[in-house]
């Protein structure tokens, strides 16, 4: 398929700008462009066809099964989009007076209340635009807390090696030193290693739970106690909340700060570059540090308020507001029981697939899993030369998006499968059949797997080149 720039034809356009009917503003010469913008020239019909053609070349949740571990690619009900498209939500301006946007403030306030109820936190800010952004804000809150107590020697954040890669990255960005601790053989935090790592330089500990191998941490109360006793705070990476909504609450487990991924658990589309929302929540003793402004509810109105102790703003205005509208719609349509059932079904679906697939493939851990599980293809690689990548590529030929590959890094030849609760048993059975067929092919004719994919618009790509040297506009094109 050609780039939109290749389709450009001199003199063709579809500008719908009306005639200028106000006095033109004259810019200073130094602010003016020296040459015109390099925009493609196309008719509206050509643009429409170009993007429709592009959209047919990708695999989305609306095309088929998408078990991409850690990403919770659930189906997002259309009602969320309908509500978020209401003019009262889309036609507002962030600088409008508060008394003209009371409904929108109510959405922020209600969403905060429900999400606090679900997580056991006391307050939440919707400013962060992604999970990692929520982590960053949460770590700044931990920093502000220690600073407010004059405790400046706490410069280290402890992170287990099973953590999501964003955890050490966010801690580093927030100016902390990261201390890595290895997991035990059971895939959980090694308590002795944690005890040895904490000290009076510990600012905090970050835990992903269920962790990145799909297991609920066994000693969670012990973990939070050890860190608290050392004077540190505990951070909960709540991106995997889809396994525990309505069942267990980070706030009850002793966690002080956390983030959620609304664009995973709370049914906003995930992937495609956003917009996302990674609200940061905390216990009341930390609320004054949350990003400004906060929404406050009074008996007759909602208002923004600013705390002088806040870490400040981490994004313009109030975050990606429409994602919050979708999350609130989702929570209200499911209700208290529905939220719990969603998590129960997510865990049930994962265990069903894990059980069936463990008859053929090796699992990284034998335990009952939460909402996702990790397979290891190490033996298949050794015996037949078939890698996790080969299996993933053949899944593409079968209309299934591959699971997450080579993550978590503590498992070799890993495939991490997260079916989510929105898939039917029929879809899961079909996927299990595809996985079994692929295994049989690997045994009988492994060269077929090295060939895959053969049915996709492009075959195997040079992923490193694509990441290091992306072609985003004409002129960037690789010559080979």
Ligand X SMILES: *Cc1c(COP(=O)(O)O)cnc(C)c1O
Which residue, 208 or 343, is less far from ligand X as judged by CB? 208
Give the span between the Cα atoms of 453 and 439, in whole angstroms: 15
Which residue, 268 or 375, is less far from ligand X as judged by CB? 268
| CB 258 within 8 Å of CB 238 | yes
Which residue, 166 or 287, is less far from ligand X as judged by CB? 166
Strands 257-260, 280-282: pairing is antiparallel
DSSP code at position 216: -
Give the binding site for ligand X (CB under 6 A): 70, 130-132, 164, 166, 208, 237, 239-240, 261, 276, 278
Least distance in angstroms from the C-beta of 136 to ligand X: 9
Q: Which residue is nearest to ligand X (CB)?
A: 131
Least distance in angstroms from the C-beta of 479 to ligand X: 33
Give the span between the Cα atoms of 427 and 65, in whole angstroms: 7
Q: What are phi and psi of 392, to 5 degrees?
A: -60, -45
Which residue, 131 or 279, is less far from ligand X as judged by CB? 131
Give the span between the Cα atoms of 73 and 65, in whole angstroms: 9
Least distance in angstroms from the C-beta of 301 to ligand X: 33
Least distance in angstroms from the C-beta of 342 to ligand X: 17
> Which helix H or strand E contains 302, and what residues bound it?
strand 302-305
Q: Dihedral through CA 42, CA 45, CA 50, CA 56, nearest 10?
A: 170
Least distance in angstroms from the C-beta of 53 to ligand X: 28
Q: Which pairs with CB-CB distance under 8 Å and at least 24 residues apart come from 108-117? A: 108/295, 108/302, 108/318, 108/321, 108/324, 109/295, 109/297, 109/302, 110/328, 111/324, 111/327, 111/328, 111/331, 112/279, 112/295, 114/328, 114/331, 115/260, 115/279, 115/281, 115/327, 115/331, 116/281
Least distance in angstroms from the C-beta of 19 to ligand X: 44
Least distance in angstroms from the C-beta of 159 to ligand X: 11
Which residue, 83 or 130, is less far from ligand X as judged by CB? 130
Which residue, 320 or 398, is less far from ligand X as judged by CB? 320
| CB 359 within 8 Å of CB 382 | no
Least distance in angstroms from the C-beta of 132 to ligand X: 3
Q: Which residue has the tokens 């998408």?
A: 66
Give the span between the Cα atoms of 420 and 426, in whole angstroms: 14
Which residue, 111 or 416, is less far from ligand X as judged by CB? 416
Least distance in angstroms from the C-beta of 239 to ligand X: 3
**Which string of DSSP letters, residue by residue, matches 357-381?**
HTTTSPBS--SPPSS-EEEE-HHHH
Our CA angle for 205, 208, 211, nearest 5°, is 130
Which residue, 166 or 422, is less far from ligand X as judged by CB? 166
Least distance in angstroms from the C-beta of 213 to ligand X: 11
Which residue, 40 or 279, is less far from ligand X as judged by CB? 279
> Which helix H or strand E contains 260, and what residues bound it?
strand 257-260
Give the span between the Cα atoms of 472 and 479, in whole angstroms: 14
DSSP code at position 309: T
Least distance in angstroms from the C-beta of 274 to ligand X: 9
Which residue, 131 or 204, is less far from ligand X as judged by CB? 131
Give the span between the Cα atoms of 436 and 356, in whole angstroms: 10
Give the span between the Cα atoms of 397 and 262, in whole angstroms: 31
Report in angstroms the alpha-carbon separations of 265 from 33, 75, 319. 45, 11, 17
Least distance in angstroms from the C-beta of 240 to ligand X: 5
Which residue, 265 or 376, is less far from ligand X as judged by CB? 265
Which residue, 217 or 237, is less far from ligand X as judged by CB? 237
């Amino acid at each position: 398929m050609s780039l939109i720039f290749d389709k450009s034809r001199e003199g063709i356009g579809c500008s719908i700008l009306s005639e200028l009917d106000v006095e033109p503003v004259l810019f200073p010469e130094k602010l003016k462009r020296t040459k015109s913008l390099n925009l493609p020239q196309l008719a509206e019909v050509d643009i429409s066809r170009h993007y429709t053609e592009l959209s047919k070349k990708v695999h989305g949740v609306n095309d088929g099964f998408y078990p991409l571990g850690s990403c919770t690619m659930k189906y997002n009900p259309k009602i969320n989009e309908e509500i978020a498209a209401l003019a009262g939500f889309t036609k507002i301006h962030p600088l409008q007076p508060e008394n003209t946007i009371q409904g929108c403030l109510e959405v922020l306030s209600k969403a905060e209340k429900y999400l606090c109820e679900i997580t056991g936190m006391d307050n939440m800010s919707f400013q962060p635009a992604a999970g990692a952004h929520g982590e960053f804000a949460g770590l700044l809150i931990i920093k502000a807390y220690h600073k407010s107590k004059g405790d400046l020697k706490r410069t280290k954040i402890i992170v287990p090696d099973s953590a999501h890669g964003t955890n050490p990255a966010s801690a580093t960005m927030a100016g902390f030193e990261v201390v890595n601790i290895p997991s035990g053989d059971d895939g959980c935090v090694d308590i002795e290693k944690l005890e040895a790592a904490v000290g009076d330089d510990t600012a905090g500990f970050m835990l992903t739970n269920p962790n990145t191998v799909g297991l609920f941490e066994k000693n969670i109360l012990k973990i939070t106690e050890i860190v608290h006793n050392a004077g540190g705070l505990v951070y909960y990476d709540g991106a995997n909340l889809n396994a525990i909504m309505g069942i267990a609450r980070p706030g009850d487990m002793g966690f002080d700060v956390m983030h959620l991924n609304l664009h995973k658990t709370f049914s906003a589309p995930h992937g495609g570059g956003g917009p996302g929302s990674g609200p940061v929540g905390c216990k009341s003793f930390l609320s004054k540090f949350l990003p400004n402004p906060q929404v406050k509810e009074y008996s007759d109105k909602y208002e923004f308020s600013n705390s002088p102790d806040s870490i400040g703003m981490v994004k313009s205005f109030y975050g990606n507001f429409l994602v919050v509208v979708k999350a609130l719609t989702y929570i209200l349509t499911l209700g208290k029981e529905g939220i719990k059932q969603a998590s129960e079904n997510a865990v049930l679906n994962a265990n069903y697939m894990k059980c069936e697939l463990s008859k053929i493939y090796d699992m990284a851990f034998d335990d009952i899993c939460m909402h996702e599980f990790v397979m290891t293809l190490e033996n298949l690689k050794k015996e037949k030369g078939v890698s996790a990548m080969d299996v993933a590529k053949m899944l593409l030929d079968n209309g299934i998006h591959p699971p997450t590959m080579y993550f978590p890094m503590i498992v070799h030849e890993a495939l991490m499968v997260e079916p989510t609760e929105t898939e039917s048993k029929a879809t899961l059975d079909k996927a299990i059949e595809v996985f079994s067929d692929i295994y049989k092919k690997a045994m009988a004719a492994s060269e077929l797997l090295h060939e895959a994919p053969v049915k996709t618009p492009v075959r195997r790509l040079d992923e490193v080149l694509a990441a290091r040297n992306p072609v985003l506009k004409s002129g960037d094109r690789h010559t080979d």
